[in-house]
Copies of this chain bind each other. A is one copy, B any other.
Amino acid sequence: MSKPFLYTILSPELLNIYDIKDSIVVIIDVFRATSTIATALYNGAEKIIPVDSVDKCIAIGKQTPNSITAGERDGKIIEGLEYGNSPTDYPRSFIEGKTLVLTTTNGTKLLHMALNNGAKEIITGSFPNLNAVCSFLSKQNKNVFLGCSAWKNRVNLEDTLFAGAVIHQIKKHFTVHCDSSLMAEQMYALHKKDLYAFARLTTHWHRLSQYGLEKDLEFCVTENVANVLPQYKNGSLISSTNF
């Protein structure tokens, strides 16, 4: 039996050149949306509603009991929302049982693009939930697209590295005929022992560390510290036990 395909899409701008119908799409936004999503679910959030605009975020927040609104543009909390896009904002003592209505610069945008393009199934991935993602993907026998959220459509290293980390673990289950995937895996293999040090060279790290977010960024490149599987169902990301 032939193996399913795996592709890496390095920027949302490149999504349209692939046919993602009936495939699993992994949304990757390492700094910081998908790291925050994993952490909030790991710490007991009931669900996360990813929305692609601030207005929707506020409106849905008002309609949803026991919810909080959160989001950032360019690394800062947006006016009108209550919280930011930092994993450290969501300890269990605060987030357990709550619904997080979240909008971010890149990650939630890509998720909605994937939905509109007919993805069969959407999960989110980040270093904190690396193993859950790999375990899930390797059991599905379906085509997989690793979708990097990038930064304003510019290819970024941290999302590429995470794609590489996934490929490194699960490539034997897939046909990988994709130069972006080959490059991503090699970059991860080259730097897996010093992800902290290497991540400091990325443009996004430079941008966000100006806002005092270094601790956040370190957390976001730490593997398996929030090992849940965020799965998109009926408009929300919920923690699935299917891995």
A residues at B contact (CB < 8 Å): 10-11, 13-14, 17, 152-157, 160, 177-180, 182-183, 186-187, 190, 201-204, 206
Interface of A is mostly: helix
Residue pair B152, A177 in contact (C-beta under 8 Å): no
CA–CA, A11 to B8, complex, Å?
Answer: 14
Copy tally for this chain in the complex stands at: 2
Which residues on B sit within 8 Å (CB–CB) of A202? 179, 182
Q: Which residues of B contact A17 (CB under 8 A)?
A: 13, 152-154
* Cα(A90)–Cα(B146), bound, Å: 41
Given A14-B11, A14-B155, A153-B17, CB of A183 within 8 Å of CB of B187: yes
For A178, the chain B residues whose CB sits under 8 A away are 154, 203
Partner of A153 from the list B14, B154, B182, B190 (CB cut-off 8 Å) is B14
Q: Nearest-CB distance from A110 to chain B (Å)?
A: 15
Name the residue of chain B whose CB is nearest to the CB of A189.
Answer: B190
A180, B206: Cβ atoms closer than 8 Å:
no
- In the bound complex, CA of A129 to CA of B77 (Å): 49
21 A-B pairs within 8 Å (CB atoms) are namely: A10-B10, A10-B155, A13-B14, A14-B14, A14-B154, A17-B152, A17-B153, A154-B178, A154-B179, A155-B180, A156-B179, A157-B182, A160-B179, A160-B183, A177-B206, A178-B203, A182-B201, A182-B202, A183-B183, A183-B187, A187-B187
